[in-house]
Copies of this chain bind each other. A is one copy, B any other.
Amino acid sequence: MASPEIEALTQALARLPGLGPRSARRAVLHLLKKRELALAPLRRALEAVEQTLSTCQLCGNVDTVDPCGICTDPRRDARALCVVEDVSDLWALDKSRLFPGRFHVLGGRLSALEGVRPEDLAIDALVGRVAAGGIDEVVLAMNATLEGQTTAHYIAERLERFPVRLTQLAHGLPVGGELDYLDEGTLAQALRARRPVG
């Protein structure tokens, strides 16, 4: 029964993460019923973001301003830099507000399998930022995967000649994690990184 326009909208919404075909249908119906209160505002919000969207030349974050809001935030500690694979990792870490410094987005991780080489990632730019000085600590916040860790090791080598403290996220049991539900790799990491008690 849906017209081609409504069908196209349903499909565009259904492709969003977290929305399936069923909830996309409900969302479309909601938008159709609330043309002024829901459809028009959403269209305008998308338009505004689309027109201003840019990639931060400093850190690789996506924002509507360049440099991005994080890079220009005076309350952030410019001496601490957190290196992440992807913008989604940056957002996940930033949401928690646990890291008070700035970020550097690599745009992926080294992968022999997928043919991703150092020059395909923003690694030279990272080295350049560190070489420019003013940075005390670089946190390597790669994913706890083989490729993520390979990437971290490669970056650590590239940065070892600079007077910065290199750290990485601790690996181990997730909070609330029950031993017998964890995969072997996590258990091995947790055992290897074991600490004295008390």
A interface residues, Cβ below 8 angstroms from B:
1-6, 8-9, 11-13, 15-19, 23-27, 29-33, 35, 38-43, 45-50, 52-53, 62-65, 68-70, 73, 87-88, 91, 94-95
Are A49 and B1 in contact, with the CB atoms below 8 A? no
Are B45 and A8 in contact, with the CB atoms below 8 A? yes
In the assembled complex, 25 residue pairs joining A and B whose CB atoms fall closer than 8 Å, in A order, are A1-B63, A1-B69, A1-B70, A1-B91, A1-B94, A2-B63, A4-B64, A5-B52, A6-B64, A9-B42, A11-B45, A12-B42, A13-B42, A16-B38, A16-B42, A17-B27, A18-B24, A31-B46, A32-B49, A32-B53, A32-B87, A33-B62, A33-B88, A39-B50, A43-B46
So how many copies of this chain end up in the complex?
2
Residue in B closest to A13 when the chains form the complex, CB atoms: B42
Are A26 and B18 in contact, with the CB atoms below 8 A? yes
Given A9-B49, A52-B5, the answer on whether A17 and B42 have CB atoms closer than 8 Å is no
Query: Which of B25, B45, B68, B87 interacts with A12 by CB under 8 Å?
Result: B45
